[in-house]
Amino acid sequence: MEWNCSTFAAPCPATSARRPDMEVQLPPAGLSAFMVSHLPDFFDRFGISFTIDGPQLEYYVYEKKTGQDISCSLTVSFGEASGQINVMTFYPGLCQQQTPRYLSTVCFFMVLQHYANFHHMGSGCEILINTRRAVFDTFYAQLQDFDFHVMERDEEDRVDIQSYLLPLGMDTSMINQRAPVEEDND
């Protein structure tokens, strides 16, 4: 399924000028204007797929035009006992693409929305990430659709950061499951 705004309920002025023949509608409550304007751009150029690897989902970003993966470093797991979503790795490779501005933000948002839908999660689940302080300052702290804050610092310039999940119940069916890639151990 291709991304489009037709899963929403009323006209959406942010994208209707670009796609006058498409049924464009307002997003579900809680979706920021930023996401409304950038989600279609992201899904026009890129797709996301995932594999199930035990208790975690591994996400892949690929370029639609070529079908080539540009990232395979997006791993999310859920600690059932703790009720926490752990973002184990998030390196979407989008910064190496032409005109990448804001695409990593959209990718992160959609991965977490898909993960919440996949596991039927409700609001309030903790999202935990261990990252470098500079990455927190320049990426996670800037995300408008999350409220990440530093919980703990260590001596190696790494921080544990936290936010809470706000699943919007939006359609994430454009993120498809694919067969796991078998590693060749020759």
pLDDT, residue 3, reads: 31
pLDDT, residue 183, reads: 59
pLDDT, residue 96, reads: 54
Quote the CA–CA distance of 37 and 47 in Å, as a whole number: 17
pLDDT, residue 139, reads: 85
Q: How many CB atoms lie within 10 A of CB 113?
A: 22
Contact indicator for 180, 53 with CB cutoff of 8 Å = yes
Vertex 26, ends 95 and 37: CA angle to 5°?
20
pLDDT, residue 155, reads: 74
All domains of the chain in start order, with CATH: 44-176 (3.40.630.30)
Strands 46-53 and 84-90: unpaired
pLDDT tens for each residue of the chain, 186 residues long:
333 323 322 222 232 332 333 333 445 566 788 888 888 888 998 899 999 988 899 999 998 999 888 877 788 998 877 888 999 887 655 555 555 557 888 888 999 999 999 988 888 889 999 988 988 888 888 888 888 999 988 878 899 999 998 888 888 999 999 987 665 555
Q: Which two tokens stand for residue 83?
A: 């009720």
Residue in 41, 19, 12, 15 with CA at minimum distance from that of residue 107? 41
